[in-house]
Amino acid sequence: MPSKNKQLREPARRNWLKMTAMSCAALAVGARGVGYGQAAQAQSTSARTVRIGYQKYGTLVMLRARGTLEKRLAKEGVSVSWLEFSAGPQLLEGLNAGAIDFGTVGETPPIFAQAAGVDFVYVGNEPPAPSSEAIGVPHDSPIRSLADLRGKKIALNKGSNVHYLLVRALKHAGLDYADINPVYLAPADARAAFTQGSVDAWAIWDPYFAAVEKQVGARIVADGTGLVDNTQFYLAARRFASATPQLVQAVLGELVSTDAWAIANPAAVAQELAPLVGLDASIVEVAARRASYGVARTSDKVLASQQTIADTFSQLKLIPKSINVKNAQWFA
């Protein structure tokens, strides 16, 4: 199946970076009113603004809503700007293009980004949350087990955390990646394809996972339990982390405080996040209770797990080259 192999191997570094630079320069213009060159120049001369990339759900969303980081940094004359991304790979495109300094992603996007030459460092992570992602099928699907995925169309966001979940789930069922037909779609497009029957299954994370369970009765074939860690990482542009480590520490400090509040108040988390993510509070609470909280500096042990993921994708030729994950370790 040469066409499939070609599709699996297509993200060459040069094309990826070219596409990234163009798309995310546009993001920077839309979010801040200036182009990439202007934003990067301003950031290099004076870190008076911390630019944070976030996704639709998670601790950064709560931190933004609570406003505590702005209050903390205002004392130092530093402001905060926020830019939302649909998923981790897109967020790392933004970091590569200079649109953001700091952001959060799952365990797989950093692997693809490092292989493509994006210069970032791991600055922290949440504890594993394997039940926060899953492979789902329509409620009336004949698919009952992972083995039934052979030959099926499976939607996923390429390079996202669920990409590794799918690889591990297939291996657990005795299948190869070439035994299925991956359909690479961003979450909104993937949901449309899933509900319209254009794909047979969807590998997805919370809160999209909780929403499709509650709203359309999706049935879970497998979540990440026993297969993956599903660790959420906080990353920073290397230049930003090296030049202003105190700002990185300030962001992490506020994330620690926000996590402590979330652990004690899962129902309140749902009430706070629901209007921000556009979902019913009952759906968000399901996702909140599956999440993990407790930011820590990324350890050698966690990076070793990342190396396993990197080696897996390298062997499958899903990334263009082998990488050493520890080259992205932060020392401060």
pLDDT in tens, 207-259: 999 999 999 999 999 999 999 999 999 999 999 999 999 999 999 999 999 99
Mean local confidence (pLDDT), 73-89: 95
Take residue 144 and report the two structure tokens written for it. 């009952």
The arrangement of secondary structure in 2-128+231-328, i.e. its CATH architecture, is 3-Layer(aba) Sandwich (3.40)
> What is the Cα Rg of the chain in Å?
19
Give 127's pLDDT tier (boundaries 50, 70, 90). Answer: very high
Q: Which of 161, 159, 168, 86 is nearest to 116 (CA)?
A: 159
Topology (CATH) of 130-223? D-Maltodextrin-Binding Protein; domain 2 (3.40.190)
List b or e across 194-211, with b for residues whose CB sees 16 or more CB atoms inside 10 angstroms: beeeebbbbbbbbbbbbb
Take residue 52 and report the two structure tokens written for it. 């944070």
| DSSP-assigned letters across all residues of 62-98 | HHHHH-HHHHHHHTTT-EEEEEE-SSHHHHHHHHHTT
Burial class (CB in 10 A: 0-12, 13-18, 19+), 51: buried
pTM: 0.83
Q: Which of 265, 251, 137 is nearest to 197 (CA)?
A: 137
Give the distance from CA 77 to its chain's centroid: 30
* Cβ atoms < 10 Å from Cβ of 189: 15
Mean local confidence (pLDDT), 283-300: 93
Q: pLDDT tens digits, residue range 28-45? A: 333 333 232 333 333 433
* Cβ atoms < 10 Å from Cβ of 249: 15
Write down the domain spans for the chain.
Answer: 2-128+231-328, 130-223
Q: CB–CB of 171/192 below 8 Å?
A: no
* Least confident stretch, 137-141, 143-147, 172-176, 286-290: 286-290
* Cβ atoms < 10 Å from Cβ of 277: 19
